Amino acid sequence: MKTKKAARSSKLAAKSAATSDDANRHAGIGSDAVAKRTGRGWREWFALLDEAKASEWKHAAIANWLATQKRLAGWWSQMVTVAYEQARGKRVRHQTASGFHATCTRTIDASAAALWGALVEPRRRARWLPGVALDVRTQAKPKRLRAALAGGPAIVEFRLAPKGARRCAITADVMKLPDAKAVAAQKRQWAAAFARLAKGGGKRGG
């Protein structure tokens, strides 16, 4: 059985790890994740951009430099640009070139195929996402779906990332939000929706 001192030390270590993780996240993405997809972590990207004096550039110029000089794909050039601008105080947290941006992710005990069905089949989607109308724009089965949210300019992009045969992470990226208040509301909404999905709300015939 742990002593009070050991338990307190464990809590402090967990808090320290969480703080470190938060410090390594920019634009909602951790440094390890960006390094895995781009070959560099946030610290390395920011150092390169500082060396190029990118803090003096506009958003489009930074994104273009990353795309042409560092060969970053379009989505990643935008994400690195936004992260850099936030880190250097050119934007507030969650703010992007097209408005504010909210992200919610959850890993669910279901295959990617099962989650894809729960996402694209309207009747199944309504069980875990009631009252939310989606105007589907593009989809790449079974990994990505992009849709407009009814009643406003906001866009949501869903991404599925399998974690083995029977587990899968689902992410909702909501873009073109008007302010930080809308970001908080979207985060609550998608956290609740994914909780319903995890409980089986999107099962066929459920």
> Is the bond leading into 142 cis (omega within 30 degrees of zero)?
yes
Mean pLDDT for the chain overall: 84
- Mean pLDDT of the region 132-143: 92
- Residue 101: predicted pLDDT: 84
Torsion, Cα of 178, 139, 85, 35 (10° steps): 150
* The model scores a pTM over 0.85: no
pLDDT (tens digit, 9 = 90+) per residue, 171-203? Answer: 999 988 988 889 899 999 999 999 999 998 666
Residue scoring higher pLDDT (4 or 75): 75
d(CA 75, CA 42): 16
Residue scoring higher pLDDT (69 or 205): 69
Whether 162 shows a pLDDT value over 90: the answer reads yes
Which residue, among 84, 11, 7, has the nearest Cα to 41 in the 3D structure? 84
- Confidence tier at 92 by pLDDT (50, 70, 90): low
Domains of the chain: 14-95 (no CATH), 99-201 (3.30.530.20)
d(CA 101, CA 118): 24
